[in-house]
Amino acid sequence: MSNKRLEGVGLGLRREMIDELLPSIPSEVDFWEVAPENWIPLGGKYQKQLLEFTEQANFVNHGLSLSIGSSDPLDTNFVKDVKSFMERHNVLFYSEHLSYCSGCGHMYDLMPIPFTQDAVTHVVQRIQQVQDILHRPLVLENVSYYAAPSQEMTEQEFTLEVLEKSGCLMLLDVNNIYVNSINHQYDALEFLKAMPTGKIVYGHIAGHYDEADDLKVDTHGADVIQPVWNLLEKAYEIHGVFPTLLERDFNIPPIEELLIEVNKIRSIQKQVNQKQNRTREFA
pLDDT tens digits for range 52-100: 999 999 999 999 989 999 989 999 999 999 999 999 999 999 999 999 8
Query: How much is the pLDDT for 279?
Result: 81
Question: 206 — alpha (psi -120 to 50), left (phi > 0) or beta?
Answer: beta
Query: How much is the pLDDT for 104?
Result: 47
Q: Are 215 and 188 in contact (CB under 8 A)?
A: no
Rounded to an integer, the average pLDDT of 104-125 is 81
Query: How much is the pLDDT for 191?
Result: 97
The confidence band for 166, taking pLDDT boundaries of 50, 70 and 90, is very high
Question: 105 — alpha (psi -120 to 50), left (phi > 0) or beta?
Answer: left
Across the chain, what does the average pLDDT equal?
91
102 pLDDT exceeds 80? no
The fold of the 9-281 domain, in CATH, is TIM Barrel (3.20.20)
Alpha helices in 144-254 (DSSP H): 155-166, 174-183, 188-194, 226-239
pLDDT tens digits for range 231-245: 999 999 999 999 999
Query: How much is the pLDDT for 181?
Result: 95
pLDDT tens digits for range 198-228: 999 999 999 987 777 777 778 877 899 999 9
2 pLDDT exceeds 50? no
Distance in angstroms (rounded) separating the CA atoms of residues 35 and 14: 9
pTM over 0.85: yes
| Of residues 27, 16, 33, 30, the one with CA closest to residue 204 | 33
Query: How much is the pLDDT for 15?
Result: 86
Tell me which amino acid residue 280 is: R
Query: How much is the pLDDT for 283?
Result: 65
Distance in angstroms (rounded) separating the CA atoms of residues 28 and 15: 19
Q: Are 123 and 166 in contact (CB under 8 A)?
A: yes
The confidence band for 106, taking pLDDT boundaries of 50, 70 and 90, is low
Say if residue 18 is exposed, middle or buried (CB neighbours under 10 Å; 0-12, 13-18, 19+).
Answer: middle
Length of the chain: 283
